Amino acid sequence: MQWQPGLERHRLATGTTAAGIVKMAGLAVSDLRRGISILQANPSDPPADVPAPAGFGLPYGLARLPDGRLLTADRSQSRIIACAEDGTNWESFGSQGAGGGQFQNPMGVAVSDEGRIFVADTGNFRIVAMDAFDGTGWQAYGQKIAAGSVGPGRFAGPVCIQHGPGGLVVADPAAARIVQLAQLDDAYWDVSSQGTFRNPAAVAVLPDGTIIVGDLTREGLSIMASPSGGITETILGDVLRYPAALAVTGAGALAAFFLPTLALCSVVRDASGWNVSLDARLDQVGIRRPTALCQLP
């Protein structure tokens, strides 16, 4: 592993960079106080907040729809929201409940390459899939973990989901595990072994299918080929701890922010290994309660 100059444990200064690493510009971030904001190229510039006619509530998770709009889950009003970066074409879908077209405190969203929408319906202990934002093709999968029954198809509260070549990857921190589903069917359930994680709250999937996991009780990022295959490598462990959100930014690249410093870093895998640089401290640009990141075109 190679580190860029100037990186020190918990005492990071902005300004370090590396060739090929995606910087702040081109990232959207959801924040429980600000809503959704677009980060600027200059780390000292305040982010541009996305206007929302009816607000974002408590936004968790970020993804992009096929039409280019941003997608987030509003935990406070049990719905999902879509809008353009300038706030236009704003619409919401869903209401509180456990039936069709309903969510209970959702905390994650993902979109497949084919445009299928997935929602981590946290309070209903399930994953919801839809063919379109209006709920067409609604499919609900999963139920609450019960005594003596922990899976397949059982969740303790999915919070972060990402879609990749191997299907949907789900972080279920209350059950201390990562699940991958090629299809929303028990036959495709692949889960990490007990004890692999303690509080996995963030996941990302690189284009080659590599799964990156951030565990809030562990230092660094965990690399997996599949949940059942276990952790194959841990990176950044001697630099930063408590990874809280991840976003894929390229073929072998991702953005990540860490608690409690709210340090936003770029991580790139190349022939020499994993390289990291600090882009900014999110709290220094007014982002103090971030929940998710998303790469923009």
Letter for the amino acid at 243? P
Domain that holds residue 232: 2-295
Alpha carbon of residue 43 to chain centroid: 22
Q: What is the pLDDT of residues 96-123, one digit of tens each?
A: 999 999 999 999 999 999 999 999 999 9
**Pairing between β-strand 2-3 and β-strand 273-281 as defined by DSSP bridges:** parallel
Q: What is the pLDDT of residues 210-223, one digit of tens each?
A: 999 999 988 889 99
Q: What is the pLDDT of residue 294?
A: 94
CA pair distance 233, 221, nearest whole angstrom? 8
Q: What is the pLDDT of residue 23?
A: 45
Q: What is the pLDDT of residues 266-281, one digit of tens each?
A: 888 888 888 888 878 8
In Å, how far are 16, 234, 294 from 275, measured between CA atoms? Answer: 12, 13, 20
**Radius of gyration for the alpha carbons in the chain, expressed in angstroms and rounded:** 18
Cβ atoms within 10 Å of 211's Cβ, excluding its own: 24
Tell me the mean pLDDT in the region 123-137.
98
Q: State what percent of residues in the chain have pLDDT above 90.
A: 68
Q: Is the peptide bond before 260 cis (omega within 30 degrees of 0)?
A: yes
28 neighbors 70 (Cβ within 8 angstroms)? yes
Tell me the mean pLDDT in the region 206-235.
94
Q: What is the pLDDT of residue 74?
A: 97
Q: What is the pLDDT of residues 144-187, one digit of tens each?
A: 998 778 889 999 999 999 999 999 999 999 999 999 999 999 99
- Kindly report the pTM of this predicted structure: 0.91
Counting runs of H as helices and runs of E as strands, what totals does the chain give? 0, 29
For residue 203, pLDDT over 70 is answered with: yes
DSSP for residue 151: -
CA pair distance 278, 267, nearest whole angstrom? 9
Which CATH number goes with the domain that contains 49?
2.120.10.30
Q: What is the pLDDT of residue 167?
A: 97
Please give the residue that has the higher pLDDT: either 142 or 44. 142
18: confidence class by pLDDT, cuts 50, 70, 90: very low
276 neighbors 3 (Cβ within 8 angstroms)? yes
Q: What is the pLDDT of residue 151?
A: 83
Q: What is the DSSP string of 231-287?
A: EEEEESTTT-B-EEEEEEEETTEEEEEETTTTEEEEEEEETTEEEEEEEEEGGGGT-
Tally of domains within the chain: 1
For residue 7, pLDDT over 60 is answered with: no
For residue 260, pLDDT over 90 is answered with: no
| Contacts with 234 (C-beta within 8 Å, 6 or more apart), sequence order | 218, 220, 221, 222, 223
Please give the residue that has the higher pLDDT: either 207 or 259. 207
For residue 9, pLDDT over 50 is answered with: no
22: confidence class by pLDDT, cuts 50, 70, 90: very low
